[in-house]
Amino acid sequence: AQKITQTQPGMFVQEKEAVTLDCTYDTSDQSYGLFWYKQPSSGEMIFLIYQGSYDEQNATEGRYSLNFQKARKSANLVISASQLGDSAMYFCAMREYSPSYDKVIFGPGTSLSVIP
Amino acid sequence: DGGITQSPKYLFRKEGQNVTLSCEQNLNHDAMYWYRQDPGQGLRLIYYSQIVNDFQKGDIAEGYSVSREKKESFPLTVTSAQKNPTAFYLCASSNPGVRTEAFFGQGTRLTVV
């Protein structure tokens, strides 16, 4: 069964510092996608970054990077130079796909608070 | 503008009544999903659909029903059999394949009194 674990319910970071949000996953598929989403208090889901299981390089998108360790089944999100607007819930998600199967499941999330 | 529209944003119902949440997308996506989110928690998959006239149960399908008669629409009915229906409901859509992200609607906050 698919499972996503995010072990940090809440995190604090000083403005302009970097922070790492942990994510581990469990799957028996060889091909899968890993995603990070941000959810501000408004409730919308904002896509941040993607990592494919066969991608050899870690993904980067602006201030976001993904520390992907396939053997450990971990996909940690790194946010550099934190800003006050980064305060939100962050969710790790995994997608497995086949012509008869297409699930996207989410972890429990990490609440990030950026301190001025 | 392309996107996913969920309506209404807030919905109130009396206990024992069925209620249908609307989800419409104009992104031409094949796959659509419904999630439930409880306060301070993650998203749990209720149902998903890969193509028209086909859908599959997610992890918490009991007390919910869906239909997919059109590619653009994937309504969710919360039935009276759902024991704790008060929650935030999110609809998403995506193209097929592991490399594409899901796009989300703004959500519907359902309160059952």
Nearest to A83 by CA among A51, A45, A42, A40: A40
What does the alpha-carbon distance between residue B105 and residue A106 come to, in Å, rounded to a whole number?
16
Confidence check: pLDDT of A57 > 90: yes
What does the alpha-carbon distance between residue A72 and residue A79 come to, in Å, rounded to a whole number?
21
Cβ–Cβ contact A86 with B under 8 A:
no
pLDDT for res B103: 95
Residue pLDDT, tens place only, A13-27: 999 999 999 999 999
Cβ–Cβ contact A107 with B under 8 A:
yes
Q: Which residue of B has its CA nearest to A1?
A: B59
Residue pLDDT, tens place only, A23-55: 999 999 899 999 999 999 999 999 999 999 999
Q: Which residues of B touch A104 (CB under 8 A)?
A: 33, 45, 48, 92, 94, 102
Residue pLDDT, tens place only, B4-50: 999 999 999 999 999 999 999 999 999 999 999 998 889 999 999 99
pLDDT for res A2: 59
B102–A35 CB contact, under 8 Å: yes
Asked whether A68 and A51 are in contact (CB, 8 A), the reply is: yes
Tokens read off for A101:
């199967």
What does the alpha-carbon distance between residue A33 and residue B80 come to, in Å, rounded to a whole number?
36
> With bands split at pLDDT 50, 70 and 90, how would you rate the model's confidence at B1?
low
